[in-house]
């Protein structure tokens, strides 16, 4: 998935941006607030995103091999810009799946034709099963990627850290960040987010590598919110 996102955003970032439009300041607090809304269906989640920034949605349909899973949906596209239409240069992908899909992955692995198509749609993370809380009925994961400062501003480490610290119990830094991520680069892993009977926000990660920035988060819908 990381390779796919890199190729897409590299292609998009070479397109010209409209001079009149100011770059978007990434609304980190608002985006992380979506992690606590894992109960939303696809249309409602899309509407919540559009309150944060302009979107261009890519049409997607579940694979015909998908199980009957009321929690399964996928939403992806581009965002950024302050005009009437988003500009390329920033992309996102959010996916949710429930127990029925998790059982398919557990029973058939990730290599069969059925699960491969389902995996491309649901985008399971390698450690979803390990971190799946008892009583959870669905997992939500989102990733946002941008590298064109004409479209979306880069968030410096101090700003990201300050906001993550208000939402998560533990922040962990990557050792020797300048050697790994370049000058001014960083990676902050945040764990222990808001947790109640409806949603458990498990983790978030903010990374800046040579002007290429990404945010991801994962949360779980608990039985109390289904």
Mean pLDDT for the stretch of residues 188-192: 98
* Domain spans, the chain: 2-13+20-225
> How confident is the model at residue 18, as a pLDDT?
44
Q: What average pLDDT does the structure give for the chain?
A: 87
> How confident is the model at residue 169, as a pLDDT?
98
> How confident is the model at residue 224, as a pLDDT?
67
pLDDT per position as a tens digit, 139-169 = 999 999 998 888 899 999 999 999 999 999 9
The answer to whether 212 and 185 are in contact (CB under 8 A) is no
Report DSSP state, residue 217. E
The position carrying tokens 């008892």 is 134
pLDDT per position as a tens digit, 66-117 = 889 999 999 999 998 665 556 667 999 999 999 999 999 999 887 777 788 8
Rounded to whole angstroms, the Cα distance separating 110 from 18 reads 42
For 67, the enclosing helix (H) or strand (E) is none
pLDDT per position as a tens digit, 10-65 = 444 444 444 447 888 999 999 999 999 999 999 999 999 999 998 889 888 888 87
Crossing angle of the two packed helices 99-108 and 113-122, in degrees rounded to 10 = 140
The position carrying tokens 């987010």 is 193
Q: In the numeric block, which tokens belong to residue 93?
A: 């992908």
> How confident is the model at residue 82, as a pLDDT?
60
């Amino acid at each position: 998935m990381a390779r796919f996102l890199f190729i897409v955003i590299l292609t998009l970032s070479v397109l010209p941006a409209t001079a009149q439009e100011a770059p978007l300041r990434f609304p980190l607090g608002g985006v992380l607030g979506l992690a606590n809304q894992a109960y939303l269906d696809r249309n409602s989640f899309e509407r919540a995103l559009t309150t944060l920034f302009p979107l261009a949605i890519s049409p997607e349909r579940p694979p015909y091999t998908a199980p009957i899973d009321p929690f399964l949906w996928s939403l992806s596209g581009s965002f950024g810009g302050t005009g009437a239409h988003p500009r390329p240069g920033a992309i996102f992908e959010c996916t949710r799946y429930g127990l029925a899909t998790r059982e398919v992955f557990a029973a058939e692995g990730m290599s069969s034709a059925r699960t491969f198509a389902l995996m491309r749609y649901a985008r399971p993370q390698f450690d979803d099963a390990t971190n799946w809380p008892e009583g959870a009925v669905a997992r939500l994961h989102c990733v946002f990627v941008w590298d064109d400062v004409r479209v979306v501003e880069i968030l410096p480490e101090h700003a990201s850290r300050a906001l993550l610290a208000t939402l998560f119990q533990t922040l962990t830094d990557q050792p020797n960040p300048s050697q790994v991520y370049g000058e001014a680069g960083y990676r902050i892993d945040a764990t222990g987010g808001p947790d109640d009977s409806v949603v458990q926000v498990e983790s978030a990660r903010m990374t800046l590598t040579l002007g290429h920035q990404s945010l991801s988060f994962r949360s779980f819908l608990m039985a109390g919110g289904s």
